[in-house]
Amino acid sequence: MSFALILLCTSFHGLFSQIHQNRPVFMNITETHQLLKAMSFAADKHRFQTRKDSAGTPYINHPINVALTLMEVGKEYDTELLVAAVLHDTIEDTATLPEEILKSFGKNVLDIVMEVTDDKNLPREERKRLQVIYASKKSTSAKKLKLADKICNVTDIIHHPPGNWTIERRLDYLTWAEQVLQGLKGSNPMLEDRLAAIIREGRAKFEVQFS
């Protein structure tokens, strides 16, 4: 746990001084506390989980990267959005209850998290279908978070895929991610462009291997 928290704090060092429109962006004490509390909460909830890559990467790396992508690629610095990014998989992938997030982080954060949470009681293909259908209906904040999430997931599919995924399955994932992207447009052009570029990169790489 201590290593995970050190990693989280190091990764988010840039939160305290980011350059945006040639001006430093600083977090106040309350915002810093909320983000650090979210880091600790997520690290605890995901502590027994790993990603599906062959290295068994600690799962907590993923929400860290999603929040960093919002900042570094999307130039998004809203604290509630970044907190939601850190927490975005806690309800979907752990035993976390919505009431826990509501009590500790407030309704706005909970609303964003709930918007990007899939119903794991549904089959995987149905969950994917619903993501495509409802992408355009999400709030602007949820769209931004989904874009950052997809950027990180597509990057992993290209460079650190699950060991049992064939090239064909990885190409299918890119096609699906591109369909979701269409519904998320209009929220953050920088995130949209990055996701589109990464999908093109992956498709070019996999189609060569597949041919």
Q: Which of 72, 92, 100, 111 is catalytic?
A: 92
DSSP 136: G
Count of beta carbons in the 10 Å neighbourhood of residue 141: 21
93 as an active site residue: the answer is yes
The C-alpha atoms of residue 60 and residue 63 are separated, in whole angstroms, by 6
- Is 92 among the residues known to form the active site? yes
Which residue, among 144, 133, 155, 150, has the nearest Cα to 185 in the 3D structure?
Answer: 144
CB 198 within 8 A of CB 158: yes
Q: Which of the following is catalytic: 44, 72, 93, 178? A: 93
In b/e form, how buried is each residue of 74-101, taking b as 16+ CB within 10 angstroms?
Answer: bebbebbbbbbbbbbbbbebbebeeebb
Q: Tokens standing for 71? A: 């900042």
Query: Which residues are catalytically annotated?
Result: 92-93
